[in-house]
Amino acid sequence: MPFPQTHPALARALQAQGYGEPTPVQAAVLAAPADRDLLVSAQTGSGKTVAFGLAAAGPLLGEADRFGRPGAPLGLVIAPTRELAMQVSRELAWLYAEAGVRVETCVGGTDARREQRALAAGVHIVVGTPGRLRDHLERGNLDLSALKVVVLDEADEMLDLGFREDLEEILDSTPVERRTLLFSATIAREIATLARRYQRDAERIDTTRRDEAHGDIEYRAVRVAPNELEKAVVNLLRYFESPGALVFCATRERVRHLYGALRERGFSAVALSGELSQKERDAALQALRDGHARACVATDVAARGLDLPDLGLVIHADLPANKAGLLHRSGRTGRAGRKGVSVLIAPYNKRRIVERLFESANIEAEWSGPPSAEEIRAKDQVRLLEDPILNETPSPEDLALAQRILADRSPEAVAAALIRLHRARLPEPEEMFDDVRDRTPDTRPQRSERPERGPRRTSDDYSAGDGAWFRLAVGRTNNADPKWLIPLICRVGHVTKKDIGEIRIFDRETKFEISREAEPRFREAIKAAGQAGDMRVEPAGAPGPKPPRTDRRPGPGPGPAAGPRPAVAYDPTRSAPPPKARKPKHRKANG
């Protein structure tokens, strides 16, 4: 038997669903003593729902083939989000179908009165979120006196979301003689404390692989200019053409904006965030499962516990907060033995953050620039030539129509029309800039292998006509300083520090030089950015020659009348920043 020590009704359900060998977490749970509590840590997508469904069969069914008449619930599963609770409910429904189970889901955003009536009519298993379960418990709708098994799914996420008080009230209301199964991605200190309080002699099961990344997920990092994140998402969705893709954003506002941008470009996309009603969330998920939508833009919380079919691509439009966030997001793909791709969009100014994320998660990622429009169009040609529709056997009706079309047109004209139809349904890829000099550290030669450097470039080289000059309407009166001007210029113009030459700070404006190599993309970037007010970058003529430098301040005494102060020049070859303009000191009036 592929699943040893499995209840016969559940074994038949697994066979009907096409399950072969158990996953590591399922095998470990089945091998554990049937009367022990379990504290389990396992990776996302490892089959945890089926695992605790199999483990709960002993307390729920015992030696019986089927459940008896439904009454007070025998099993309780607590999940952090509505989507995960509903997913768990569906999984348990088919797993226990042959045992005559009645499962009820109690989650926020749904009709509480309908749930109340279902609980009053009797159920065998209740699956719900902490807030709604506590509400039913306090109103007397939920009777936990007959519980035989309690499951806490993704307990770490429930604590992160602030459900500790709800969990404690629910667990305190359950019978002492129960089996408690606690599943969590990580066993942090808070989880261990919760386990000690509510579990007895729990068996610890750890199937996470801490020394290697998820083998079914390919990790990539795509370097982009900071203002081209949206274009990068578009090109990634077009390049991979996955049947299902999940795009993660940090905030609800970002979800709304990116969702609107994708829809405007012709993508079949849905949005998922906490501000949506339960009906809207259900409709979005159903569109993904039906294939009517191919991309879902979501926040971390909204996507918690999602198990979407054919999800082959995860895009981190906004970077995850930490290693756990990276692994959780990426774990939405590469599930049940299927391969997946997880792509982090890495702006130039956040590259080190991305590298530290990969290092903390022990992940070796492939770095590259964004997919170009040419690469995407080449992929489109290959996909068209390999489209199964070209090899399908035509029906007699299709053949008759094809003959009519060919009677008046050449085969080349018909093929060209097919190509146009294929392209018409595809959103246009974006033209993007990729600085090939900004490569991954692994591809750069070691210090001993690097060629000898030539003479350093000086500011005099730039002033000899090597660079193009631009201006900002900020100067000494605005406390202009290269320490914040340089990052601003790099961010607005998609250049790096090495592309900036001399900076000349005047009283009311600042002029700076951009190398000839970077000038074309700099002009294109500032035109697209279109900043207003003082931050607007404009082309400018070269300033006059630098005033002669004096090493000592002139001593007191008569001298020429004071005139406008000369510009403060920033030489990129010097490490020290230019002197700051002194602020006038104000004396307090006596009295």
Domain boundaries, the chain: 8-206, 217-375, 459-544+566-570
75: enclosing H helix or E strand:
strand 75-78
pLDDT reported for residue 584 = 53
Q: Indicate the SS3 state at residue 306.
A: coil
pLDDT reported for residue 445 = 42
Q: At what angle do helices 48-61 and 8-16 cross, to 10 degrees?
A: 150
- CA–CA separation, 302 and 105 (whole Å): 18
Predicted confidence (pLDDT) per residue in 62-78, tens digit: 889 899 999 999 999 99
pLDDT reported for residue 170 = 94
Q: Which residues contact 70 (CB under 8 A, 6 or more apart)?
A: 102, 121, 122, 123, 124
- CA–CA separation, 340 and 177 (whole Å): 42
Q: Which two tokens stand for residue 246?
A: 């999940």
Q: Which of 511, 506, 525, 487 lies closest to 566 in space, CA to CA? A: 506
What's the topology of domain 459-544+566-570?
Alpha-Beta Plaits (3.30.70)
- CA–CA separation, 488 and 470 (whole Å): 13
Q: How far from 215 is each of 179, 311, 336, CA to CA, in Å?
A: 33, 16, 12
Domains 217-375 and 459-544+566-570 share a fold: no
Averaged pLDDT, groups of 10, the chain, 591 residues long? 78 86 86 88 78 91 90 94 88 93 91 93 95 93 94 84 88 92 81 87 77 70 86 93 90 92 91 82 84 89 68 92 84 76 89 90 90 90 85 86 88 88 84 57 42 42 66 84 82 84 90 91 82 74 72 50 53 50 51 40
Cβ contact 297:269 at 8 Å: yes
Q: Which residues contact 259 (CB under 8 A, 6 or more apart)?
A: 269, 270, 271, 297
Query: What DSSP string describes 384-415?
Result: HHT-GGGTSPPPHHHHHHHHHHHHHS-HHHHH
- CA–CA separation, 299 and 280 (whole Å): 15
Q: At what angle do helices 519-529 and 482-493 cross, to 10 degrees?
A: 90
pLDDT reported for residue 408 = 87
The region, left, alpha or beta by phi > 0 then psi within -120 to 50, assigned to residue 20 is: alpha
Select the CATH number that applies to the domain covering 217-375 from these four: 3.40.50.300, 3.40.50.410, 3.30.70.60, 3.40.50.10880.
3.40.50.300
- CA–CA separation, 288 and 86 (whole Å): 15
455: enclosing H helix or E strand:
none
What's the topology of domain 8-206?
Rossmann fold (3.40.50)
Q: At what angle do helices 48-61 and 82-95 cross, to 10 degrees?
A: 60
